[in-house]
Structure 1
Amino acid sequence: MKRIFINLLSFLLKPYSVYFNKNNIGVLLMCIKVRFQFFVVLIFIFSFLTSAQEKENYIEKNYDKNEYRIKMRDGVHLHTIVYSPRDKTKKYPMIMTRTPYSIGPYGEDKFAKYLGPAEQFVKDGYIFVLQDVRGRFMSEGEFDNMRPHKTEKTKTETDESSDTYDTIEWLIKNIPNNNGKVGMWGNSYPGFYTIMGAIDAHPNLVAVSPQAPISDWFIGDDMHHNGAFSLQMSFNFFKNFGIPRKALTTQWQRGVEYPSPDNYTFFLKHTPIKKLNENILKNSIPFWDSIMTHGNYDYFWQQRSNLQHLKNIKPAVLIVGGWYDAEDLYGPLNIYKTIEKNDKDNQCRLVMGPWTHGSWIASRGDSLGDFYFGSNTADYYRQKILIPFFNYYLKGIGKPLDSDAYMFDTGSNKFYSFDQWPPENVSASELFLSSDGQLSFSSDFGSEEFSEYLSDPWNPVPYTSKFLDSKNFYNRTFMIEDQRYVSTRPDVLTFETEPLESDLTIAGPIEANLFVSLSSTDADFVVKVIDVYPDDEPNPEPNPEQVEMGGYQRLVRAEIMRGKFRNSYENPEPFTPDKVEQLKIKLNDAFHAFKKGHKIMIQIHSSWFPFFDSNPQTFTDIYNADEKDFVKAQIKVYHSKEYPSSVLFKVIKQ
């Protein structure tokens, strides 16, 4: 790399006369400009590489690395790596991550580039503990996705809580220079292991930070939302992650190869969903087969939900999530609310910023998609919340965080702190759907009793305007994306208010209360809450993507529900054709100020493809449906005195 840099630099510094005639001034000036721009880019690349090299060298120069096989109560050994500061004159707290994603690089002479929940932790002095969870990579035993917790265990029975307990017990006794205090953190799946470690916690585990933690894979996280299957993300995750391990390994196993057009085309060609197994997976992924077998919220999913076990949590808890996290927005909000409900005297804190999945860990968090948030929100979180949290509980430095919830208002671009979430000073405010696409705070429904659309499962509404390779996990910015790309589709209903006369800030959960009828026996329902910008909204400066902000339809919150689960996730029910039925859809919380002059829009449609699979709109086992089961459905959404469809918000009192 250094040789390449030197050669390029020598090219930049060569006399211009080598290349050009002195009379060719225009070409000469252009060359100078190009060289200058190239030089700036080169300096940036060199600075980045140098910075990364320094980070890697710092860990190698200042830490010792040791690998251990820690024995669990049932005799299974879990592979564990410990990075300890070389300065042995002090005692250090331990901060641990348990993960199914590999703790490599393996080998005591190979060092990780990053450790801990933020870069500063490496220089602040911690003992870092990394562990492959049971059944993954170099740890023995059998792996189980979202392994269920056992409330009553025999002496040799295990779960993620006991594996965490046994690991900490060994660490406290065997790792030199530890101060007897242990913290845990992890993002996404490791966030799940972090919150599981807080259940029946080891007494030396004093602080945990589950970040984007999984809580329930059927109702709200990752694999399903209200029973609707998150097709693109689940397929791209399990085609690699779900491959059975033949022996202990340090390597990821490669998934099946297949032709890969854009995501919309690929997944439509593999509808019905069973075609993915027949043509590509071929029953090579056991957990995928389990998903296809358990289409309802039965014991398989119920026992994997950790919300039922979040009682008497002893460690201090700092939960972190992102308002634009398409994977695990449900988990952080509901884990916090459950702990708050079950343990009045807990030490649980919640942080929600304007972030996608895990982007608060290393990014600046100053922008997303077409929007700039006015500050480095992730830096603020790391410096003002995360580091003080662990410093207090693990090192006794400073004081505990003085608020329960640190929440970013995505409309005003500010962090606010509250004593609880949702905040106390909110009131219920209902927006009613009405004729001619009107949306109003009063129940004046107009002359038409309903609005209607024809939903075609073979022409589903796309979840994003972007065309991505089908192997791409998903478009990570779609939860803040401009919705104008679908607002004129005939299978999308749009309702909007008049321009607001003053600012209106929603803070908390959202619930859509719809009255609907179908010509078929099942359908999905997507409800979107949108911030519509004024027509004279100025464009950003600079504007390299040529964004047109006048009339921008900014997605604030959206959710989907599989209609057959409207009354019960355990016992789905068909719709009676043409019968009006009530459907309540819980959307995840939002904290957003709709500015004066903006409008609030509600969109309703029946597909969100291929982030979610296409409902055949026939009451059936969707995972084993045939093409003949896919039918068009005429869907009516009612807005009358008898059937008053509405969306309920929590609004901060002025």
Structure 2
Amino acid sequence: MKPTVLLPCALSLLSLACQAQTSAPATPAPYDLKANYTKYEFRVPVRDGKKLFTVVYVPKEAEASGKRYPFLMTRTPYSCGPYGVDRYGSRFAPSEDFLKAGYIFVCQDVRGRFMSEGVYQEMAPIKTGKGPRDADASTDMHDTVQWLLDHVKGHNGKLGIWGISYPGYYTSTAIIDSHPAIKAASPQAPIADYFHRDDGYHGGAVMLAHNYGFLTGFKPQDNPTVEPKRWASFDYNSKDAYDYFLRLGNLDNIAKSIGKERNPYFDELIENDRYNDYWKARSVGPHLKNIKAAVLTVGGWFDAEDLSGALATYQFIEKQNPGISNALVMGPWVHGGWVRNVGKGLGAVDFGSKTSEHFQKQILLPFFEQHLRGGSDAKLPEASIFETGTNVWRQYSAWPPVEAKPRALYLLAGGKLGWTAPAAGKAEFDSYVSDPNKPVPFIGYTSLGMPQEYMVSDQRFAATRPDVLVYQTEVLEEDVTVAGPVSPRLFVSTSGTDADWVVKLIDVYPPDLGEEPMRNREQIADVPPPPGFQLGGYQQLVRGDPLRGRFRKSFEKPEAMVPGQVEEIRFDIPDVAHTFRRGHRIMVQIQSSWFPLIDRNPQSFVQIRSAKPEDFKVATQKVFHWKDQPSAVQLRVIEGGR
């Protein structure tokens, strides 16, 4: 049988298929939505004359007694189905607690998707200098809110909005120049800038496995389109994504493999291979202004798609909207895991508690209750941060925390890693040969797509490869807590004219851990560890990201590297909140491919998407670590314990 892969949950929390894949069945009897709510369907007109399909669930108590409820809304490109007033679904609610608390729930198909009119664009640009009939995602929300206030009975005049991933992006756009009735918003795993470390590109490299998996199913639609009877699947005719993509060759060939009609969204992704006007127009961060609502941005430390989006959204709102209530929550979750999963573990890592339940009951519900219903003060800190390693929630007055001070972890001779800069007076370096036709895998096992476990995946398979450099500290004598961005500062050279520089921060477990700590690990983890996993000596990926060498100076104007010329490259990879425990080691791995998580760099300065087989060239990469060229990874460390 040919293996198939369902449309991934990557950007589709509101997909029934995703819920079926990732959610364990509830033990109590499900909440009787139909007995407590009346469903309505509307076609809401907006300023340019288009009509947006909108589903409204009103508590029957509001209709019977005149009691007033706040609105809680989500906007989605993934369908507000099931369609029909007699067909009920609960994808619009963050949890059953919200259903029991009582809200007027609203779900809207965004412009051009499923039952809404208009033309859909991937992350359609927010318009500036709008005329009275100029529409975008922000005005669509503004017009919808006013329509709801005018036409739906039983409300208290207050509206909240939430959503995960793409619906998180639409939550962000909803509060730009926001309607005054919007009192609370929770963008969760929101797309902030598709090119800069969100779904599309990381460090100038295409996030290949994820985008291909998603865009083989997410395609343009005719209007209107009802929800399909079964969600689309794609037949890879393979069991191993590594071999599958390697055989296809360049990105143009990969684009053709999607189907006869291709997918214009994938074509746009690979054609816009630098930070050009296409991406700048779609960056939502600079538009996050004039926000009147309280905001709670939510993200996951192991979100393989939109980790950076949550952090960037929080920072943009913080800088551009002084004085508003703006808070951040980062938990130990995969994409949408705070709603889909228990949040007690991932792969071999046990987080020690049901972190998703804590978030839903102690943070999210109190946030909306306070701002939409006048409930008691939720007393949320500026930043609610789950610290992995110690497995505790921390509260900070800002993120990154002011307590975290910059410290450099230097690469040293002999594969060592230390806090003291090298003192050697001659040029020392380590080198490896990188072959783009034999790229370094991003996981040590066979898989299709981008498994969620990769964010904590064991790196022992990579540490033994000759094309991966490995540096590690001595055994730690005390805990080291890192909180904030991870910033490689490397002195490098290549024999080619382009190169990827992948830097991974790794937590190395003591070698003498036996089988006992792994007992019941498959039961506690949302995603179990790979078969045959051994905890002793585990090299847990804490964070990793690439920089494509051609973008070392500018993401807008790529520039060839000069063969043999030593250059300093600086870049940031996404934040962490992690404690390396006493008895562990800190490791850094450096390599020049990470396949097929990111696309292959041919290591020659050519147009990558159309690179010919002869353009993929073997290159010798060097990383220097001496007094005048002290390669290091900059961390933010909280000194002196707690």
Q: TM-score by structure 2 length? A: 0.91
Map of 2:435 onto structure 1: 456
Matched length:
601
Q: Is structure 2 residue 48 aligned with structure 1 residue 68?
A: no
Q: 2 CA distance for matches of 1:204 and 1:104?
A: 26
Q: 2 CA distance for matches of 1:346 and 1:436?
A: 51
Map of 2:56 onto structure 1: 82
Q: 2 CA distance for matches of 1:269 and 1:126?
A: 52
- C-alpha offsets along residues 411-438 of structure 1, whole Å, 9 cap, x if unaligned? 1000011111111112111111011101
Map of 1:168 onto structure 2: 145
Which stretch has the larger CA shift, 397-406 or 511-520?
A: 397-406
1:491 equivalent among 464, 467, 472: 467
Would the aligned equivalents of 1:594 and 1:600 in 2 still touch at CA under 8 Å?
A: yes
Q: How much does 1:55 deviate?
A: 2.2
Map of 1:341 onto structure 2: 319
Q: 1 CA distance for matches of 2:261 and 2:273?
A: 17
Q: 2 CA distance for matches of 1:405 and 1:159?
A: 31
Larger Rg: 1
1:500 equivalent among 465, 476, 496: 476
Q: Is structure 2 residue 263 aligned with structure 1 residue 285?
A: yes
Name the aligned partner's letter for residue 30 of structure 2: K
Q: How much does 1:62 deviate?
A: 0.8
SS of the equivalent of 2:282 reads: coil
SS of the equivalent of 1:82 reads: strand
Name the aligned partner's letter for residue 499 of structure 1: V
- C-alpha offsets along residues 170-205 of structure 1, whole Å, 9 cap, x if unaligned? 001111101100000000000000011010101100
Map of 1:558 onto structure 2: 544
Map of 2:181 onto structure 1: 204
Q: How much does 1:279 deviate?
A: 4.0
Name the aligned partner's letter for residue 621 of structure 2: I
Which stretch has the larger CA shift, 535-544 or 206-215?
A: 535-544
SS of the equivalent of 1:281 reads: coil
Would the aligned equivalents of 2:206 and 2:270 in 1 still touch at CA under 8 Å?
A: no
Q: 2 CA distance for matches of 1:629 and 1:229?
A: 18
Gaps of 5+ in 2: 1-23, 523-530
Q: 1 CA distance for matches of 2:258 and 2:296?
A: 41
Q: Is structure 2 residue 552 aligned with structure 1 residue 576?
A: no
Q: Is structure 2 residue 584 aligned with structure 1 residue 598?
A: yes
Would the aligned equivalents of 1:433 and 1:445 in 2 still touch at CA under 8 Å?
A: no
* Residues 349 and 629 of structure 1, relative CA distance in 2, 3 Å threshold: same
* Residues 405 and 279 of structure 1, relative CA distance in 2, 3 Å threshold: closer
Name the aligned partner's letter for residue 262 of structure 2: S
Q: How much does 1:113 deviate?
A: 4.0
2:444 equivalent among 462, 465, 472: 465
Map of 1:224 onto structure 2: 201
Larger RCO, structure (CA 8 Å, separation 6 or more): 2
Name the aligned partner's letter for residue 412 of structure 2: S
Would the aligned equivalents of 1:115 and 1:121 in 2 still touch at CA under 8 Å?
A: no
- C-alpha offsets along residues 308-359 of structure 1, whole Å, 9 cap, x if unaligned? 1122321100011000001001111111112222233121110001100001
SS of the equivalent of 2:452 reads: coil
1:530-549 alignment runs, 5 A limit: 530-539=506-515, 540-542=517-519, 547-549=533-535
Map of 1:416 onto structure 2: 394
Name the aligned partner's letter for residue 168 of structure 1: V
> Following superposition, which runs of at least 4 residues in structure 1 exceed 6 angstroms of deviation?
none
Would the aligned equivalents of 1:512 and 1:585 in 2 still touch at CA under 8 Å?
A: yes
Would the aligned equivalents of 2:348 and 2:535 in 1 still touch at CA under 8 Å?
A: no
Q: 2 CA distance for matches of 1:145 and 1:278?
A: 20
* Residues 445 and 231 of structure 1, relative CA distance in 2, 3 Å threshold: farther
SS of the equivalent of 2:216 reads: helix
Q: Is structure 2 residue 599 aligned with structure 1 residue 613?
A: yes
What percent of counterpart residues are identical? 44
Would the aligned equivalents of 1:186 and 1:194 in 2 still touch at CA under 8 Å?
A: yes
1:7-26 alignment runs, 5 A limit: none
Q: Is structure 2 residue 135 aligned with structure 1 residue 158?
A: yes
SS of the equivalent of 1:639 reads: strand
Q: 2 CA distance for matches of 1:283 and 1:573?
A: 33
SS of the equivalent of 1:590 reads: strand
Gaps of 5+ in 1: 1-47
Q: 1 CA distance for matches of 2:393 and 2:98?
A: 23
Q: Is structure 2 residue 207 aligned with structure 1 residue 247?
A: no
Name the aligned partner's letter for residue 547 of structure 2: M
Would the aligned equivalents of 2:92 and 2:106 in 1 still touch at CA under 8 Å?
A: no
Q: 1 CA distance for matches of 2:240 and 2:83?
A: 36
Name the aligned partner's letter for residue 95 of structure 1: L
1:185-196 alignment runs, 5 A limit: 185-196=162-173
Map of 1:13 onto structure 2: none
Would the aligned equivalents of 1:435 and 1:449 in 2 still touch at CA under 8 Å?
A: yes
Q: How much does 1:134 deviate?
A: 0.1
1:373-384 alignment runs, 5 A limit: 373-384=351-362
1:507-518 alignment runs, 5 A limit: 507-518=483-494
* Residues 374 and 292 of structure 1, relative CA distance in 2, 3 Å threshold: closer
Superposed CA RMSD: 1.6
* Residues 259 and 361 of structure 1, relative CA distance in 2, 3 Å threshold: same
Q: 2 CA distance for matches of 1:50 and 1:353?
A: 22
Would the aligned equivalents of 2:348 and 2:518 in 1 still touch at CA under 8 Å?
A: no
Q: 2 CA distance for matches of 1:343 and 1:68?
A: 34
Map of 1:133 onto structure 2: 110
SS of the equivalent of 1:181 reads: strand
